[in-house]
Amino acid sequence: MATIYDVARLAAVSPATVSRVLNGRGDVNPELARRVEQSVRKLSYRPNGVARNLRRKVAAVWALVISDIENPHFTALVRGVEDVARANGHSVVLCNTDEDLERERAYIDVALSERMAGVVISPASDRQSALGPLLDAGVPAVTIDRRLRSSPVSSVVVSNRRGGYEATAHLAAQGYRRIACVAGPLRTTTAAQRLAGYRAALGEAGLPADKALVRVADYKEAGGAAAVAELLRQPDPPDAIFVTNSLMTMGALRALGEAGVTIGTEVGIVGFDDLPWAPLVSPSLSTVAQPTYELGRTAAEMLVHQATDPEARVRSVTLPTELRVRGSSHR
Amino acid sequence: MATIYDVARLAAVSPATVSRVLNGRGDVNPELARRVEQSVRKLSYRPNGVARNLRRKVAAVWALVISDIENPHFTALVRGVEDVARANGHSVVLCNTDEDLERERAYIDVALSERMAGVVISPASDRQSALGPLLDAGVPAVTIDRRLRSSPVSSVVVSNRRGGYEATAHLAAQGYRRIACVAGPLRTTTAAQRLAGYRAALGEAGLPADKALVRVADYKEAGGAAAVAELLRQPDPPDAIFVTNSLMTMGALRALGEAGVTIGTEVGIVGFDDLPWAPLVSPSLSTVAQPTYELGRTAAEMLVHQATDPEARVRSVTLPTELRVRGSSHR
DNA sequence: GTGAAAGCGCTAACAC
DNA sequence: GTGTTAGCGCTTTCAC
């Protein structure tokens, strides 16, 4: 592969001039610039990004570290982040941690090691974060979807508590009395907040907070199915369920189907995260929708802001959720 | 941030010895090794990956370039690739091209520029590929899900033609007579092959190949919906539809619902790609399932093979699909 | 406006 | 075994 020296030699200029032309810096004689461009083409020269990064001490790439690549919620964020990144001359690479702190750490390591320009991350845990080294190194970072309790980092989240509250209050208003909740891993702020909203709504509706009606699962399909199967097996099963993410909702529907339960009539259901197929199941699925694109866009904009002004103080943005009432939550 | 020189100084050894300890190369006096490790900890030293890559001429990272991050088929591949990567000491970063050749080119550029160790890619087009520079540079590359006609690259795909054939033959066997096909962008080999399978099955069943029954769409939800809406508006509408990917199938179901058509009875439907929610819609959705994890795993293994043996010849692996008959494809 | 040269942090010959 | 040193390819002072 051709280097900047090859180009310089062919164009009969110095490597410095080639660099200037390539980066549009400083004033270069148009004639020399022309010669450089011609040589670049002739040699099909591509700058070595690694050498450039070493010299500049930062790459043009952002890392978007998400906790579950198969969760449509997270993949929907991507577009928002990408659009802002491209507008600011950055590329986005995705890293999937699978809710695993060890893998989260490994990817933070890669981001740090490759001197990436910024990191947007949905942390696997609100406390034992792997972000420390990143922050110490001064790399711009923003958490998305979830917050971090252990360190001061800017974040963009949705109103999880309110979303959980509205879902549950809606079920109560529809006359359901034993409303269960399938929660996510409580080490995530989303799970904790959605559960808190559920509890608040129960209290307000004067419904008892039966511990047996709360199941902590793992935000995955199988976990949701298992949790619902257990709930149904109880002596006094629920007549409604608030399921706190889409993957678990899918599992819940499967478990309900396998148990021969009629959705809506026998057991009402509201899921967190709206999905394209929510209107297609029958009865159609009531959900708490999140502004996923906005979530990604906002996080990316905060990253740009941080990169521009390193003194920028930590900010936390909360975007609204929206209850979408469909067929699964009334009799 | 501490450098290898800082560590060397503190441990009273040379940078070369630090490097040896860090990389487990050569024999190092255990006492020196201990001192190095201690200094590394004390300084919380992290090797600069960029400098390392510049020196070694290759990074430890693989790029997985997929054409649509919101298509569950592609996100399902990721796990297979990741598992093999990790077993071989690589990290995987995902790049989303959105079926856009310009963005494909940009990400190939990043992979090249950052000297990534290998690329697994589902190309946006079978001809105008952006892979050229990558292959010229000798970077190990494998296409996944789709093939490339324009250059000799190893690939892992599924039996698209057979999958299309089986879906269509099944609909014919169920007594449907005017079977339509919603195809993907024909510049992808998957779309071309699935369509070819559809045509072959029609011919074999003695059904006429009415051009009006074939709609070329874009592998996206809205495209699938629009195509089906058009099909239904025709003077002589189809009584069954083979939809060639899951996103378009979702759109098809929506369009069918909006048109008030009873699925199965009035219009039979089979979709390509199985999905967790396929059994949940009603009637449950018949599909052609693909071994997504295997697809990812196999591609990654081929990449390892290529990296190990640069003389390895181009191979093409085809994995089987499986027709899953459910409720949407009979009366 | 242009070029010479130093240096980013690491690894791998090579010399000891 | 261990240290010295050159150099990966680029950008950026600094001198002209």
Mutate to test the interface with B, among A55, A56, A66, A93 (most CBs of B within 10 A): A93
Q: How confident is the model at residue B176 (pLDDT cuts 50, 70, 90)?
A: very high
Query: How large is the greatest C-alpha to C-alpha distance in chain B, in angstroms?
Result: 87
Q: Are strands A286-289 and A322-324 parallel, antiparallel or unpaired?
A: antiparallel
Report the pLDDT averaged over residues A104-126: 95
Contact A116, A63 (CB under 8 A): yes
Q: What is the pLDDT of residue A310?
A: 81
Q: What is the pLDDT of residue B129?
A: 81
Q: Over pLDDT 70: what percentage of chain A? A: 100
Q: Give tens-digit pLDDT for B196-250.
A: 999 999 999 999 899 999 999 999 999 999 999 999 999 999 999 999 999 999 9
Average pLDDT value over all residues in chain A: 96
Nucleotide with smallest C1' distance to residue A17 CA: C2
Edge-to-edge strands, sheet with B61-66: A316-319, A154-158, A141-144, A118-121, A61-66, A91-96, B91-96, B61-66, B118-121, B141-144, B154-158, B316-319
With beta carbons under 8 A apart, name residues in chain A contacting B75. 69-70, 75
Pick the CATH number of A160-290+323-329 from 3.40.50.2300, 3.30.1330.10, 3.30.200.20, 3.40.605.10: 3.40.50.2300
Residues by Cβ under 7 A, strand D: A 1, 3-5, 15-16, 18-20, 22-23, 25, 45, 47-48, 51-52, 54-56; B 12-17, 20, 26-29, 31-32, 51, 54-55, 57
User: Long-range contacts for B204-208 (Cβ within 8 Å, ≥24 apart)?
Assistant: B204/B169, B205/B168, B205/B169, B205/B172, B205/B173, B207/B172, B207/B177, B207/B178, B207/B179
Q: What is the pLDDT of residue B310?
A: 81
Task: Give the architecture-level CATH label for domain A55-158+292-320.
Answer: 3-Layer(aba) Sandwich (3.40)
- pTM (predicted TM-score): 0.95
Q: What is the pLDDT of residue A129?
A: 81
Say yes or no for a CB contact (<8 Å) between A50 and B47: no
**Residue ranges matching CATH 3.40.50.2300 in chain B:** 55-158+292-320, 160-290+323-329
Q: Does A174 touch chain B (CB under 8 A)?
A: no
**Residue ranges matching CATH 1.10.260.40 in chain A:** 4-47
Q: Give tens-digit pLDDT for B298-320.
A: 999 999 999 998 889 999 999 99
User: Would you say the C-beta of B53 is within 7 Å of strand C?
Assistant: no
Report the pLDDT averaged over residues B138-154: 95
Dihedral of the CA atoms B43, B49, B54, B57 (nearest 10)? 130
For nucleotide C12, give the residue with the nearest CA to its C1': B16
Window 84-123 of B, Cβ < 8 Å to A: 91-96, 106-107, 109-110, 112-115
Q: Over pLDDT 90: what percentage of chain B? A: 94
Tokens of B10: 């503190």
Bases of chain D with protein Cβ within 7 A = 1-5, 7-13
Query: Nearest by CB to B112, which of A46, A94, A114?
Result: A46
Q: Are strands B268-272 and B316-319 parallel, antiparallel or unpaired?
A: unpaired
Distance (Å, rounded) from C-alpha A322 to C-alpha A327?
Answer: 16
Those residues whose C-beta lies under 8 Å from the C-beta of residue B202, and which sit 6 or more positions away, are: B168, B172, B179, B208, B209
Question: Is pLDDT at B285 greater than 90 in this prediction?
Answer: yes
Q: Give tens-digit pLDDT for A236-273.
A: 999 999 999 999 999 999 999 999 999 999 999 999 99
Element holding A215 (H helix, E strand): strand A214-216
Q: Give tens-digit pLDDT for B220-232.
A: 999 999 999 999 9
CATH superfamily, domain A4-47, is lambda repressor-like DNA-binding domains (1.10.260.40)
Please give the single-letter amino acid code of residue A58.
V
Q: What is the pLDDT of residue A311?
A: 86
Cα three-residue angle B279-B285-B291, rounded to 5 degrees: 80
Question: Is pLDDT at A5 greater than 90 in this prediction?
Answer: yes
Q: What is the pLDDT of residue A320?
A: 98
Mutate to test the interface with A, among B3, B52, B88, B93 (most CBs of A within 10 A): B93
Window 253-312 of A, Cβ < 8 Å to B: 253-254, 257, 276-277, 279-282
SS3 string, chain B, reads CCCHHHHHHHHCCCHHHHHHHHHCCCCCCHHHHHHHHHHHHHCCCCCCHHHHHHHHCCCCEEEEEECCCCCHHHHHHHHHHHHHHHHCCCEEEEEECCCCHHHHHHHHHHHHHCCCCEEEECCCCCCCCCCHHHHHCCCCEEEECCCCCCCCCEEEEECHHHHHHHHHHHHHHCCCCCEEEEECCCCCHHHHHHHHHHHHHHHHCCCCCCHHHEEECCCCHHHHHHHHHHHHHCCCCCCEEEECCHHHHHHHHHHHHHCCCCECCCEEEEEECCCCCCCCECCCCEEEECCHHHHHHHHHHHHHHHHHCCCCCCCEEEECCEEECCHHHCC
Report the pLDDT averaged over residues B89-118: 95
With beta carbons under 8 A apart, name residues in chain A contacting B54. 48, 50-51, 54
Bases of chain C with protein Cβ within 7 A = 1-5, 7-13
